[in-house]
Structure 1
Amino acid sequence: MLRETGLVSASDLPSLDQLLRTPHMAALMEQHGRSRVTRLLRGHLQALREQIQVSPLSREALAQAVQGDALVVAVEQAMQAEEGRRLSRVFNLTGTVLHTNLGRAVLPEVAVNAVVQAMSSPVDLEFDVASGRRGDRDARVRSLVCELTGAESATVVNNNAAAVLLLLNTLANRREVVVSRGELVEIGGSFRIPDVMRNAGAKLVEVGTTNRTHPADYTNAMGPRTALLMQVHPSNYTITGFTAKVGTAALAALAHERNVPLAVDLGSGSLCDLRAWGLPHEPTVQEALAAGADLVAFSGDKLLGGPQAGILVGRADLIARINRNPLKRALRMDKMGLAALEAVLALYREPELLTQRLPTARVLSRGVDTIWEQAERLQEPMQQAFAPEYRVDVARLDSQVGSGAQSEARLPSAGFRIQSAMAKRSGLNRLAKRLRQLPRPVVGCVADDALWLDLRCLDPEDEAAFLAQLPGLSA
C-alpha cells in the first residue's frame, strides 16, 4: 500500500503480479506476449526501486509512475530500445566504398532474391536431385569459380582469414611456411597474418627485410621442414622507395624446384581488370594462377562485390586435401551465403555489364561529374535543413575503395563540406551525432573543421528518403 503522507520507499511499489493483472498490461500482453511484457515490466520496476533508494519519491509521484498509461509508455519505450539494437540500414557518406564497419559490399538484387529463396523454403543444399543422394554443398559455386578463373578446383569457407587458416592447417601443420617480412600484414581488427599462421599450427619463417626481399632469401630459408612458400598481397599498405620483392612467377619457380607448393593470399581479390572501372590495376586471381600459384585465397565481400566468404582456388589434389580437413565443416558457409555468392559469381559471366548489375562495380565506377551534379541538386534542400547554424557547400572530395583494397587509390568524388557558423568543432561533432541518430543513420566524417558527406555511395534512388528525414535534425 502507498503511504498516506510523506515520502515512500521501495517496499511501497506494487507487485509485478498486481500490475500484470491490470487492463493496460493485459492489452500489451495480447499484442506482444506475456514473457516479453513481464520481463520489461520487471526491469522497469527494478529501475524505479533503485531510483527510490537514491532519492525517495512522494506519494503522488509514485502513484503517477505506476499508473497504467505511464507503465505502458515505459514498456513500449523499452521495446523500442531493444529493437533499436538490431542491424539497421545506414547512409554511407564516409567516402569509403567497402567500409568494413558498415558491412562492406552491398549485394545486387539477384543475390538478395537468391538469399530470400534459400531462407524461405527447402533447397537442394546438399542433395543431388538427379540421383536422389547426398550432394556437395560447394558444387555450384565450385563450378562457377573454376569457370571464371581457370582453376582446377575450388572450395569456399566463411571468410578469407578462415581460408588461409584452413590451407595452412591442412598443408603446413607442425611444418614451416616461408614468408617475406614485408608481407606480414595486419588484416584489420588487430588480426595479423603471423597470428593466423601460428594458430593454424604452422611455423613462420620470415625472410628478407621489411622493404627488400630477394630470391636467395627464400632458397636459403627452405629446408626439409618447409611445407610451402606463401605470398601475401599487402593490399592495405604500400612500401615505396628502396624496395625489392620477388614476383609470383619467380616465387612459384623457386617453390616448384623444391617440390613445395606456393600459396598466394590475394586478400581483397579481383576477377576482372579494375582499370576498366577507372582504378589502378589490381592483381587478379587468374593472373596469380597463370603465374604458377598452386593455391590462391581471396575474399568474397570486397572487390568481388559478394557476401562474406573466403574462396580457395588451385590444384585439385590440394583442394581435395583441404576439403578432407575436419576444420572445413567448422568453417563452411551457410545456405544463405552460398546462394548469394553463386548469384554474384554468375554476373561475372557477362563482365561488360557488371557496372550496371553489381553495386560495388557501379559505385566504384561512378564518374565525378555525375556525383557533382547530384551534390548540386541536393545542396539547396540540404542548406535549408542545416540553416542557419551551418553552411553547406558543394566540394570536391576523394573517395577510397576500403577494406584494405588499393590503399593508395583515390577516386575523385563530390559531396558536402558542412561548416559551423560559430566555427566550433564541438558543434560539428554534435551535428554528426544527430545525423547518426536519424531513423536511417547518416554516417559522415569530421575533419579539418568541417563535416564531410561524400555522395559516391548515395544511390540516386535513395535521395528522396535521404532528404525526407533531414527535418528531424531540428526535432
Structure 2
Amino acid sequence: MGNELSRIPKVDKLLAWPQVAAFLVKHPRPLVLQAIRNTLDRLRQESVNGVLREKIGEDGLIALVSVELDRLSSSSLRTVINGSGVVIHTNLGRSLLARSACEQIATVAGHYSNLEIDLTTGERGERYSHLEGLLCELTGAEAAIVVNNNAAAVLLALSGMAAGREVVVSRGELVEIGGAFRIPDVMRQSGCLLREVGATNRTHLKDYRSAMTAETGLLLKVHTSNYAVVGFTAEVSIEELVALGSEQGIPVMADIGSGLLLDLSLYGISGEPTINEYVRSGADIITCSGDKMLGGPQAGIILGKRSIIDKLRRHPLLRAIRIDKLTLAGLEATLRLYRDERQAVAEIPTLRMLTLQPADLMKKGQSWLRRLRGKIPVSVTLALQEGSSQVGGGALPLLDLPTVLIAVTAEGLSAQAIDQALRSGRVPVLGRIYRDRYLLDLRTLQENDLPPLAEALQLLVTPPPS
C-alpha cells in the first residue's frame, strides 16, 4: 500500500504542470486547488481500499482533475428532462412557468421596481397591492394577500384567526403531505387547539355541531391533497359548513391546496373544485398554492373577507413569510393570462400539459420518433405505446390521464441501466420503469427537451463483453 500511495503526486507537483496552469487561467486558484485535493484524496482512498488504478499517468490524472473541476464549477441546481408523466412534480420543481412569467421575472430582477412605492403619491406603498386586484377580479373574493407558500398561508391564517382557541376539523382531513407537513403540527405551531370530529372515513354535520363550544374559534375544512378516502364515506360540504358557521357566529376556513382557477371538465378533468367555487360558498378564508394547478411560482394565496385579510396584514408573522419581488412578478404575469381562458390553457405549461388529448400526444410521439431515429445508435430502439400520466402536486390522486409513451430499449442494457445512464448525462433525463421497460411520457416532455434527449440517447452504447 505504501508503494501505491507513493505513486500519487503531491499538490505542489501538479500545480507546476502546464495543463494545470491552463486551468488557472479559466478558474479561480482556490477552486483549482480544491479540485486537485479532491482528486488526490479520492485516489488515496482507492489505494486504501485496494482498487487503485494500475497506472496513474499525467494525462489520466489531469483528466480526473478536469472532471472534478467541472463538477465544482457547475451549478448544483440543474435543468432536467421530465419524462415521468407527473405534470406537477414536486421533486422537479412543480409547475413550469409561462414564457411571459419568465420574462417578467427577468425584467424585474435586473431593474429597480415600484415594489413598495406608490408612484402617484411618491409615498411608501404595499407589495401585496400588485396582486390583490387581480386575485379579486379572477375569483370574486373581497380581499387577498400572498405569502411564500401554502403552509405559511395556513400558519398565518390560523395564527391570526384562532390562536389560543379551538379549531374544529374532521379526522379524515388531518393530512400529511410531502416533507412531513402535517395539519396538526401547523395548528400546534399557530397556537390553536385541535378539536377532531367524526371518523377517518365518515364525518357528519352533527359532529361539528356537537363539538362547538364557547372556546371554538374556527371551523376548518382541508383538501385531502394526495390521497382519497373511498368506499363507505361521508363528508360535510363547504356550503354546509359555512351555513353552520354563520348560524353560530364562527368563521370558516378552507385550505384547498391545489389552487385550480379554471373548470377543466371540458378537457376530461373533473373532481377538483375551483377557487371560485369556494369563494361563492361564502367561506371566510381560503388558502391555496400558487405553483400547483394554478401554474405559477411557489406562493401561498389567502383570499376572503376583507375584515379578516386586513387583520392578517397586521400580524407580525407576515413579514417573516412575505413574498419577494421575483415571486410577485411571476405570479402577477401568470394571473394576467387567466383573463382569457384560451390564452391561459395555451400559454401556462401546467394547463397545456394537463389538457393534451391522446390524439395530440400520438401525433407528437410520431414526430419525435422521426426526428430522433436519425440521431441515435442503431442499437437503441424507440417505440410508442399507450399509458397513463398523473396530475401530481397533491391534486386528483386517483385520476389517470391517457397518454402516449416512448419505450426505450438498448442492446445489452437493462431498463435499470438505461435509467442510470440517462440520469447521469449532461442534462439528466428522468423517466419511469414499468414491466422491465424504460418509458418516457410525451405529456411532460417539452419541445426544447428534444436536442438534449437525442444527445443522451446517443450515449446509450452496448457495454463491451466481460
Q: TM-score, normalised by structure 2?
A: 0.90
| Residue identity opposite 2:335 in structure 1 | L
Correspondence for 1:259: 249
Correspondence for 1:186: 176
Q: Distance in 1 between matches of 2:33 and 2:410?
A: 47
1:34 and 2:29 correspond: yes
- Residue 143 and residue 450 in structure 1: after superposition, are their counterparts in 2 closer, same or farther (change >3 A)? same
Q: Distance in 1 between matches of 2:448 and 2:62?
A: 38
User: 254, 261, 272: which is aligned to 2:262?
Assistant: 272
- Contact 2:81 2:449 (C-alpha < 8 Å) held by counterparts: no
Correspondence for 2:39: 44
1:459 and 2:446 correspond: yes
Give the deviation of 1:377 after TM superposition: 3.3
Q: Distance in 1 between matches of 2:278 and 2:356?
A: 28
Give the deviation of 1:17 after TM superposition: 4.9
Give the deviation of 1:34 after TM superposition: 1.8
Correspondence for 2:417: 430
Give the deviation of 1:47 after TM superposition: 3.8
Q: Matched residue of 1:344: which SS?
A: helix
The superposition leaves residues 13-40 of structure 1 with CA deviations (integer Å, 9 ceiling, x where unpaired) of 7664565455444432232112212222
Give the deviation of 1:297 after TM superposition: 0.3
Correspondence for 2:156: 166
The superposition leaves residues 311-363 of structure 1 with CA deviations (integer Å, 9 ceiling, x where unpaired) of 00001121122122222111111111111001000111112322221111111
- Contact 2:410 2:461 (C-alpha < 8 Å) held by counterparts: no
Q: Distance in 2 between matches of 1:173 and 1:129?
A: 37
Q: Matched residue of 1:400: which SS?
A: strand
Give the deviation of 1:289 after TM superposition: 1.4
1:450 and 2:437 correspond: yes
Q: Distance in 2 between matches of 1:57 and 1:455?
A: 43
1:394 and 2:384 correspond: yes
Give the deviation of 1:7 after TM superposition: 6.3
- Residue 346 and residue 11 in structure 1: after superposition, are their counterparts in 2 closer, same or farther (change >3 A)? same
Correspondence for 1:316: 306
Correspondence for 2:365: 375
| Residue identity opposite 1:454 in structure 2 | D
| Residue identity opposite 1:43 in structure 2 | N
Q: Distance in 1 between matches of 2:256 and 2:138?
A: 16
- Residue 83 and residue 447 in structure 1: after superposition, are their counterparts in 2 closer, same or farther (change >3 A)? farther
| Residue identity opposite 1:133 in structure 2 | E
CA RMSD of aligned residues (A): 2.8
User: Tell me, which stretches of 5 or more residues in structure 2 are unaligned?
Assistant: none
The superposition leaves residues 412-432 of structure 1 with CA deviations (integer Å, 9 ceiling, x where unpaired) of 11113446778xxx8111111
| Residue identity opposite 1:215 in structure 2 | L
Q: Matched residue of 2:172: which SS?
A: helix
**Aligned runs of 1:350-365 on 2, under 5 Å?**
350-365=340-355
- Contact 2:422 2:456 (C-alpha < 8 Å) held by counterparts: no
Q: Distance in 2 between matches of 1:432 and 1:11?
A: 39
The superposition leaves residues 114-147 of structure 1 with CA deviations (integer Å, 9 ceiling, x where unpaired) of 1111221222222222222222111111111111
- Contact 2:410 2:460 (C-alpha < 8 Å) held by counterparts: no
| Residue identity opposite 2:285 in structure 1 | L
Q: Distance in 2 between matches of 1:33 and 1:418?
A: 41
Correspondence for 1:233: 223
The superposition leaves residues 272-310 of structure 1 with CA deviations (integer Å, 9 ceiling, x where unpaired) of 111133311421111111111000001101110000111
Give the deviation of 1:466 after TM superposition: 2.7
User: 103, 111, 117: which is aligned to 1:113?
Assistant: 103
The superposition leaves residues 357-398 of structure 1 with CA deviations (integer Å, 9 ceiling, x where unpaired) of 111111111111111122233446767888876764321111
- Contact 1:392 1:419 (C-alpha < 8 Å) held by counterparts: yes
Correspondence for 1:3: none
- Residue 42 and residue 251 in structure 1: after superposition, are their counterparts in 2 closer, same or farther (change >3 A)? same
Correspondence for 2:85: 95
- Contact 1:228 1:262 (C-alpha < 8 Å) held by counterparts: yes
Q: Distance in 1 between matches of 2:427 and 2:242?
A: 49
- Contact 1:270 1:303 (C-alpha < 8 Å) held by counterparts: yes
Percent identity of paired positions between Structure 1 and Structure 2: 41
| Residue identity opposite 1:431 in structure 2 | I
User: Tell me, which stretches of 5 or more residues in structure 1 are unaligned?
Assistant: 1-5
Give the deviation of 1:148 after TM superposition: 0.9
- Residue 45 and residue 313 in structure 1: after superposition, are their counterparts in 2 closer, same or farther (change >3 A)? same
Give the deviation of 1:234 after TM superposition: 1.4
Q: Distance in 1 between matches of 2:373 and 2:79?
A: 24
Correspondence for 1:441: 428
- Residue 40 and residue 362 in structure 1: after superposition, are their counterparts in 2 closer, same or farther (change >3 A)? same
Q: Distance in 1 between matches of 2:49 and 2:182?
A: 48
Q: Distance in 1 between matches of 2:331 and 2:457?
A: 35
| Residue identity opposite 1:443 in structure 2 | L
Q: TM-score, normalised by structure 1?
A: 0.89
- Residue 57 and residue 73 in structure 1: after superposition, are their counterparts in 2 closer, same or farther (change >3 A)? closer
- Residue 193 and residue 367 in structure 1: after superposition, are their counterparts in 2 closer, same or farther (change >3 A)? same
Correspondence for 2:297: 307
The superposition leaves residues 197-226 of structure 1 with CA deviations (integer Å, 9 ceiling, x where unpaired) of 122221111101112111111111111211
Correspondence for 2:236: 246
Q: Matched residue of 2:65: which SS?
A: helix
- Residue 268 and residue 46 in structure 1: after superposition, are their counterparts in 2 closer, same or farther (change >3 A)? same
Q: Which stretch shows the higher mean deviation, 336-345 or 438-447?
A: 438-447
- Contact 1:158 1:333 (C-alpha < 8 Å) held by counterparts: yes
- Residue 52 and residue 377 in structure 1: after superposition, are their counterparts in 2 closer, same or farther (change >3 A)? closer
Q: Distance in 2 between matches of 1:61 and 1:378?
A: 44
Q: Matched residue of 1:178: which SS?
A: strand
- Residue 369 and residue 333 in structure 1: after superposition, are their counterparts in 2 closer, same or farther (change >3 A)? same
Give the deviation of 1:79 after TM superposition: 1.9
- Contact 1:280 1:409 (C-alpha < 8 Å) held by counterparts: no
- Contact 2:263 2:274 (C-alpha < 8 Å) held by counterparts: yes
Q: Distance in 1 between matches of 2:214 and 2:69?
A: 62
Q: Which stretch shows the higher mean deviation, 367-376 or 291-300?
A: 367-376
